[in-house]
Chains A and B, each alone.
Chain A
Amino acid sequence: MAQHFVHPPNWTWYIVSYFFLAGLAGGSYVLATILRLWGSQRDEAVIRLGYLIPLPLCVLCAIFLTIDLGRPLAFWHMLINTTPGNGGLNFKYWSPMSVGVWALSIFGLFSLLAFFEGLGRLRPMPSAVTIVGSFFGLFLAGYTGVLLSVSNQPLWSDTYALGGLFLASGLSGSAALLAWLGHYVNGDPSTEARLGAADGYFAILELLFILAFFVTVAMAGTIGRTLSGIWVVLWILVLASLIPAIRGAFARTTISGGGTAALAQTAIVMPIIVLIGVFLMRIVVVFSAQF
């Protein structure tokens, strides 16, 4: 049985919110790129949306990360070494927090380009740019889970599953977000339907990683920590939030010749349920290890 005698770092709402928004920012960019590469002209409204979303979310991410610090004005110490006599940049590939700060900064630049494209101020970005940007988007969505694992905290350090879990969940939440907001920017019904199907696949992936998480922490003997009290209720809600998305993956939505939307439920209610589940999952993982 794993032994843990550590203090919790007291990472709470700002960090949970950052993890949530980082997943959506990275995921939206990636899905917009997939639609650009393999979708059709009719997906353009949602592609623009997918490229507009990451920048404001990255700004919010940076704000949440900064105000969570004990000395917010020293946030730049993450990037520049201020140890007397040392100078230069701070980069430790073995510390996910160090790598993550750089990844957020670089992805922020890709998001800026994407934002201007989304506004119509730039010509469509070359595929090479969007593919590299997507790499950083995927990293941003997933490294947050690895950051938790690279510690000595109970639960977090007892599993390898958190990186994959946060990434799958980020993609799922992004698909839901694009499907939801796409409804308001005259997104094509077929795009929304395909986003629903993608969300279902991502939800299945998330479910597999949740199972992997449970198995690994059970083997470490710390599962009781996350399956006690209020946390059980939250896990049940998280699992319940996956059901509509997974059902969507297997239910083929028929779009009429005129392109009418499938169901209002698919367009609005399901994405909100998914997004709530994505947020709750981060709450239960982050809080149950610490309190």
Chain B
Amino acid sequence: MADQVGFFTDTSVCIGCKACEVACKEWNGLAGDPPEFRDSFDNTGQLDAENWRHVKFIDLVPDAPTVVGNGQAWLLMSDICKHCEHASCMEVCPTNAIIKTEFDTVFIQPDVCNGCRNCISACPYAAIGFSKDTGVVHKCTFCYDRLQNDLTPACAKACPTQSIQFGKLDDLRTRADARVAALQAQGYSQAQLYGRDDKIYGGLHAFFLLMAKPEVYNLPNEQNAGLPRRNNRGGYLGALFAAAIGVIAGAVALRRGAQDSPNDRGAGEAEKK
């Protein structure tokens, strides 16, 4: 197996230029969605089949005048599939179209996928989109073709501020630890790493330095980062309970003689004999 690789996205230095989005579309031949005016500088809107990178513009500009912006009036974040170590999408996929590559990234095989969309219901990051054109789901491939040729993924290559850093996972984690410590020392008490350790889906191959709580960025926090299979036991136990009660109730109601008048009951018993 090749070295485990990853993205470390430092949101504190993202300037919202969207070079990552453009580079991703250029390399992967994505047409993008029709332009749409939104109440923000964000005209991409979401990750989907045509947008594998999406720069989130989180507007935290206070209504009241303030003297200290502290760099947090807008939060910017270049979002992407997190390539989870324990991936919800991969867990539920009934065709095994979603696999781990030799780089330990998560990859959807378009020729194996049949478009059931179960992975979309499972992905907690809304990173997967369905394409009506191809009939299958798509998401970031981590530029699998570039990785196979020792090239840096397009988004990281294009990022002008090194907000998106690509490299070996262990190296990135070391860099991230130093960066978050430096920010906290500068007074950014909310600066935190998301997905750096195994508490979120066993660790994310695309992990982040955030300047606020994860939920501000529409990322589930540690308590809410659950795999779909957590509901198997409870769901099946509920169904088993209903099945047991249902069969007993059915047998009680449908047994011969139930609801019959005494005369009919006698006739029914006679039939059985």
Contacts and interface: CB of A to CB of B under 8 A. Distances in A.
Interface in B177-219: 215, 218-219
A75 interface: yes
Interface in B54-101: 88, 91-97, 99
Interface in B255-273: 255-261, 263-264, 268, 271-272
Contacts of B250: 30-31, 34, 171, 175, 198, 201-202
Given A78-B114, A150-B228, A190-B264, A164 B255 contact: no
A148 B122 CA distance: 10
Given A11-B117, A71-B114, A255-B259, A90 B271 contact: no
Interface string B90-129: 0111111101000000000101111111101111111011
Contacts of A96: 232, 235
A38 B251 contact: yes
A133 interface: no
B120 A7 contact: yes
Contacts of A97: 92, 94, 116, 118
A101 interface: yes
Given A3-B215, A96-B232, 9 more contacts: A7-B129, A31-B254, A43-B254, A74-B113, A77-B97, A138-B239, A151-B92, A194-B254, A205-B249
Interface of B: 46, 48, 88, 91-97, 99, 109, 111-118, 120-126, 128-132, 134-137, 215, 218-221, 224, 226, 228-229, 231-232, 234-239, 241-243, 245-247, 249-261, 263-264, 268, 271-272
Interface of A: 2-11, 30-31, 34-35, 37-43, 68-72, 74-75, 77-78, 81-83, 86, 90, 92, 94-98, 101, 134, 138-139, 142-143, 145-146, 148-153, 156-157, 160-168, 171, 175, 190, 193-195, 197-198, 200-202, 205, 209, 212, 249, 252-257, 259
